[in-house]
């Protein structure tokens, strides 16, 4: 619905003409909220709708590959939410399909479009902290996992669902690919998953080695309850940079009741502008016929790290990435 509202009301050069959802209630509610009359239960009927130029894929990860391939075959430009797919092989299939059809394929790493993270990147490029030594990125979310996420064969776990953004952020900031990871995970807040899905984790820590010699660290958590927490730290040879804040304002109150500051409750609050900028960039690359700012290769690299991280959790060993 974040994307839907953007394209319905806020993105120039774009008109939301149709939507698709297999659940009738959700479909009708969305159509009413977005002010459109055309809604489908099958995405293949959507792809055949006259006058459709582009699609946004926001389904669970395991469905992305086939939907993207079908959209490309229908000649539609594609904005695909993260994680791009379940495996690097699926990512390659999606990239090849888009290339063959000469359509744009953009991946939904919206933090690249958030003003604070863009400024962080610009300061790194400008050399404000000298040569980058290490990058740390974290995402702690308040919501509990959906039941389907417990099965790592279906969801790829929190490294995919939560930390895909962090993986892309550290790649983007360093300008280098991750070549080796070591990860540990544990289930601390999801007791309902322990019996049937003993390999599920809702808390994860991953350390990374980069091709250019830099170091990286990623932390992820689900169900933290206290708020939505997304931050990035860049340590250089001449200083350190921070982006992101848990607090909604810069004001902290100290009274006889104690110290307090309101916290951000949802990613919808923290990154609402980033999603709008991302959607505008998607339309811009179509209209101007330019390369998307976040490509299928960026999506594939993140999936490679997710898969390697999950393998490291399973084996207890570092995993090298080709």
Confidence (pLDDT) at 261: 66
Confidence (pLDDT) at 254: 66
DSSP string for 276-300 = HHHHHHHHHHHHTT---SS-HHHHH
**Coil vs helix vs strand at 248:** coil
Mean pLDDT for all residues in the chain: 94
152-205 per-position pLDDT tens digit: 999 999 999 999 999 999 999 999 999 999 999 999 999 999 999 999 999 999
Token pair listed for 92: 């390659």
Confidence (pLDDT) at 255: 58
92-123 per-position pLDDT tens digit: 999 999 999 999 999 999 999 999 999 999 99
Residue found under tokens 């582009």: 54
Q: How far apart are CA 172 and CA 167, in angstroms?
A: 9
What sign for the dihedral angle of Cα 321, 243, 123, 105?
positive
Token pair listed for 27: 């479909």
DSSP string for 149-214 = GG-HHHH--HHHHTTHHHHHHHHHHHTS-EEEEEEEEE-SS-GGGTTT-TT--SEEEEEEEETTS-
Distance of CA 55 to the CA centre of its chain: 17
Structural domains of the chain ordered from first start: 2-110 (3.40.50.720), 126-265+296-320 (3.30.360.10)
Which strand (E) or helix (H) includes residue 180?
A: strand 178-186
279 vs 143, residue with greater confidence: 279
pLDDT-based confidence at 256, cuts 50/70/90? confident
Confidence (pLDDT) at 248: 60
Q: How far apart, in Å, are the Cα atoms of 100 and each of 71, 73, 145, 266? A: 12, 9, 36, 38
Q: How far apart are CA 110 and CA 99, in angstroms?
A: 23
**pLDDT of 147 strictly over 60:** yes
Q: Output the furthest CA–CA distance in the chain (Å, rounded).
A: 66
65-93 per-position pLDDT tens digit: 999 999 999 999 999 999 999 999 999 99
């Amino acid at each position: 619905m974040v994307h839907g509202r953007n394209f319905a009301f806020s993105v120039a050069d774009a008109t939301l003409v149709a939507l698709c959802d297999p659940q009738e209630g959700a479909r009708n509610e969305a159509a009413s909220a977005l002010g459109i009359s055309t809604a489908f239960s099958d995405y293949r009927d959507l792809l055949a709708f006259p006058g459709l130029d582009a699609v946004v894929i926001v389904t669970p990860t395991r469905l992305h590959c086939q939907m993207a391939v079908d959209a490309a075959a229908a000649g539609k430009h594609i904005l695909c939410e993260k994680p791009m797919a379940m495996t690097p092989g699926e990512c390659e299939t999606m990239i090849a399909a888009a290339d063959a059809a000469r359509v744009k394929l953009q991946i939904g790493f919206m933090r690249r479009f958030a003003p604070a993270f863009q400024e962080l990147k610009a300061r790194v490029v400008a050399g404000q902290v000298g040569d980058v030594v290490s990058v740390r990125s974290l995402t702690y979310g308040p919501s509990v996992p959906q039941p389907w996420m417990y099965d790592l064969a279906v969801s790829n776990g929190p490294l995919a669902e939560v930390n895909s953004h962090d993986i892309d952020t550290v790649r983007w900031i360093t300008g280098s690919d991750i070549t080796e990871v070591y990860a540990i995970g544990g289930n601390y807040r999801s007791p309902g998953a322990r019996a049937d899905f003993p390999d599920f984790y809702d808390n994860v820590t991953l350390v990374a080695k980069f091709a250019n010699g830099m170091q990286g660290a990623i932390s992820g958590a689900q169900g933290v309850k206290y708020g939505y927490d997304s931050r990035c730290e860049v340590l250089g040879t001449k200083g350190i940079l921070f982006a992101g804040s848990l607090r909604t304002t810069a004001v902290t109150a100290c009274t006889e009741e104690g110290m307090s500051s309101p916290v951000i409750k949802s990613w919808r609050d923290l990154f609402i502008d980033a999603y709008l900028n991302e959607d505008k960039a998607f339309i811009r690359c179509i209209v101007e016929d330019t390369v998307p700012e976040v490509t299928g290769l960026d999506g594939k690299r993140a999936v490679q790290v997710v898969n390697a991280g999950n393998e490291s959790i399973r084996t207890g060993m570092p995993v090298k990435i080709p």
